[in-house]
Amino acid sequence: MSTKYVVIIQCDIAHRRCSGFACTNAFYNKDEVFKSYDGDTKNISFTCGGCCGKGIAAKLEHLSKKLKTKSNINNEEVIVHLSSCMTTDNHHYDRCPHVDYIKSIILKKGYKNIIEGSYISKGSEKKRNEGIYNSYT
């Protein structure tokens, strides 16, 4: 089954200072973690809803409802990317302490395809390699 939608979930706190441009741009340019998606794959982005991430449940329910009523896309054709601002140590702050909880909500809402990461900053990656930022892989 091919991927019809890529959902990028961004940290709500990071979203206050970040437009999400780099992640969305990486998707449309098929950079790095998005390179395997074809040109017909659509993208939607939203935030986790704030700490502790519980707000993601309502957003995913709404998405499921719209996919069911406005398209022929099912949850198995959707891949959820937790943005790098949530899953890595970076200049905003360290990895989100609620990542596992957020993943459990995503799974409970019927989305089984979850990937950690989106746009990877070259500067942040350099700092991870130098041991300045934590690495979780």
Is the residue at 52 inside a domain? yes
Q: What is the pLDDT of residues 119-132, one digit of tens each?
A: 988 888 888 888 88
62 occurs within a structural domain? yes
| pLDDT, tens only, 38-66 | 989 999 999 999 999 999 999 999 999 99
Q: Report if residue 85 sits inside a domain.
A: yes
Q: For 8, which DSSP code?
A: E
The closest of 109, 52, 58, 50 to 80, measured between CA atoms, is 109
Q: Are 8 and 25 in contact (CB under 8 A)?
A: no
Q: Is residue 39 situated within a structural domain?
A: yes
Domain assignment present for residue 137? The answer is no
Domain count, the chain: 1
On whether residue 135 sits in a domain, the answer given is no
Which residue range(s) make up the domain with 80?
5-129
Is 136 part of any domain?
A: no
CATH number at residue 35: 3.40.50
Alpha carbon of 127 to those of 24, 60, 77: distances in Å? Answer: 23, 34, 35
- Judged by average pLDDT, the poorest of 34-38, 64-68, 93-97, 113-117 is 93-97
pLDDT beyond 80 at 91: no
Any domain includes 134: no
pLDDT tens for 4-25 read 999 999 999 999 988 999 999 9
